[in-house]
Amino acid sequence: MEKEVIFTDKAPEAIGPYSQAIRIGDFLFTSGQIPIDPHTGNIITGDIQRETIQVLENLKAVVEEAGATLDNVVKTTVFIKDMNQFALINEAYSRFFSERPPARSCVEVARLPKDVNVEIEAIVALKPQLNI
């Protein structure tokens, strides 16, 4: 099976030696997205819900570049700097995954790239007959 690199300029460019996402077979594995505005390169700060929305907009752009939608997401991993912000992050997250949300893990971490407060990665099923 050959892996295909997915890239879109509608999400922030990788800030290291990694790809925005990799398609292999019927699955897409995204790298973690952080709250960077892809148009300005600026990090969104100061409001955890706004930060989470930017992260999910970036994730959505990568998923769509691969020909899928957020409805195809089967698993996310959410990394947050402060578990006390979980309820606010969850509220913003639910705007993107309201019906049949994917499986999810959420972990508090000491530090994230660029000292952001939230990062989210996803696994996406691309095969249409999976009826997701």
Q: Which residues are catalytic?
A: 106
Contact 77, 107 (CB under 8 A): yes
Which of 25, 1, 121, 36 minimizes the C-alpha distance to 73? 121
How many alpha carbons lie under 13 Å from residue 111 in its C-beta half-sphere? 3
Burial of 117 (0-12, 13-18, 19+ CB in 10 A): buried
